[in-house]
Amino acid sequence: MYAPLLQHPVIAPIAAAMLGAIFGSFIGALVVRWPAGRPISTGRSQCDSCGTVLKAWQLIPLVSYIVLRGRCAACGAAIGRSSLLIELAAALIGAVSLALHPGIEGLAIAFLGWLLLPLALLDWQHYWLPHPLTAALALGGLASAALGLPPDWTSRIIGAGAGLGGLSLVALLYRLMRGREGLGGGDPLLLGAIGLWLGWQALPIVLMIASGLGLAAALVMQRRGLAIDSATRFPLGTLLALAAWPVALAGPLA
């Protein structure tokens, strides 16, 4: 019943965009509440300024923000645009995935993007890659393999080992040479999970794109007059996440 809908050139992307907006709403709450130690999925949603419990129609992704013109209906306080942008990003991930890859493969690529999005945001804002999210990403890779989607099991297992082992070795060598940590403990786990999704053949491209993004960010920082030295921190997990989804979108390399 659902397979033909996933293949439809119009319905599938629209439905995936709607599903993405829903996921984006949850992701927006997650990246704000989790680092603050607040409950993520329990309790009624409320205005951060006045504490008014939000009504159901005020929780509709994208629509409620537009209708309310970005302000709380009770107190008029401005609603942060970050949640709106996250919902838009998640909707775009769903729409593009199903538009370019109709069917179950496109849905899997969309889920990859939705899993990478909170990891990218949390590492960018807090230099934090929560192990439960990375584990969920790895389990998603195993699930996509179980569905028979490319690449094959061998490429995925080698990719997981190469991603985890390669970055772990880099971190060890850096520690031995510099006497301090150069990579967070979550970065090798993230690259291992990405390798489990994309296979070992995709890892060099992911690393190349991530390095290019990092270089571009450094150049922008320099243009803005910010000093960059050996102690400057870059959210490698964010760069890896931003690189991995377009590689998946381009299609398997094996």
Among candidate residues 84, 102, 120, the one where a domain is terminated? 102
In this structure, is residue 110 part of a structural domain?
A: no
Query: For 220, left (φ over 0), alpha (ψ -120 to 50), or beta?
Result: alpha
In this structure, is residue 111 part of a structural domain?
A: no
Q: What is the average pLDDT across 216-223?
A: 91
In this structure, is residue 87 part of a structural domain?
A: yes
Cα(127)–Cα(115) distance, rounded to whole angstroms? 17
What are 43-85's pLDDT values in tens digits?
A: 667 666 676 777 766 678 888 888 887 787 777 777 778 989 9
Q: What is the pLDDT of residue 39?
A: 79
In this structure, is residue 118 part of a structural domain?
A: no
In this structure, is residue 174 part of a structural domain?
A: yes
111-136 burial, b for 16+ CB within 10 Å, e for fewer?
A: bbbbbbbbbbbbbbeeebbbeebbeb
Select the more confidently predicted residue: 193 or 57: 193
Per-residue pLDDT for 253 more than 80?
no
Q: Which domain holds residue 16?
A: 1-102
Give the model's confidence band at 1: pLDDT under 50 very low, under 70 low, under 90 confident, else very high: very low
**Whether residue 45 is found in the same domain as residue 137:** no
How many domains, the chain? 2
**Whether residue 153 is found in the same domain as residue 225:** yes
In this structure, is residue 205 part of a structural domain?
A: yes
In this structure, is residue 244 part of a structural domain?
A: yes
Q: In the chain, which ranges are continuous DSSP H helix?
A: 2-7, 11-33, 63-68, 81-100, 104-126, 131-146, 153-178, 186-198, 203-223, 236-250
Phi, psi of 14 (to 5 degrees): -65, -45
**Whether residue 69 is found in the same domain as residue 174:** no
Q: What is the pLDDT of residue 61?
A: 87
**Whether residue 16 is found in the same domain as residue 86:** yes
In this structure, is residue 120 part of a structural domain?
A: no
**Whether residue 77 is found in the same domain as residue 155:** no
Q: What is the pLDDT of residue 194?
A: 98
Q: Reduced to 3 states, what is the DSSP secondary structure of residue 129?
A: coil
Q: What is the average pLDDT across 205-233?
A: 89
**Whether residue 145 is found in the same domain as residue 229:** yes
Note if the pTM is more than 0.85.
yes
Residue 242: both structure tokens together: 């931003």
**Whether residue 69 is found in the same domain as residue 144:** no
**Whether residue 140 is found in the same domain as residue 60:** no
**Whether residue 21 is found in the same domain as residue 96:** yes
Q: Reduced to 3 states, what is the DSSP secondary structure of residue 231?
A: coil
What are 117-141's pLDDT values in tens digits?
A: 999 999 999 999 999 999 999 999 9
**Whether residue 157 is found in the same domain as residue 199:** yes
**Whether residue 151 is found in the same domain as residue 246:** yes
Select the more confidently predicted residue: 86 or 231: 86
Q: What is the average pLDDT across 1-9?
A: 73
Per-residue pLDDT for 2 more than 60?
no
Question: Residue 57: CA atoms inside 13 Å, Cβ hemisphere, count?
Answer: 4
**Whether residue 81 is found in the same domain as residue 146:** no
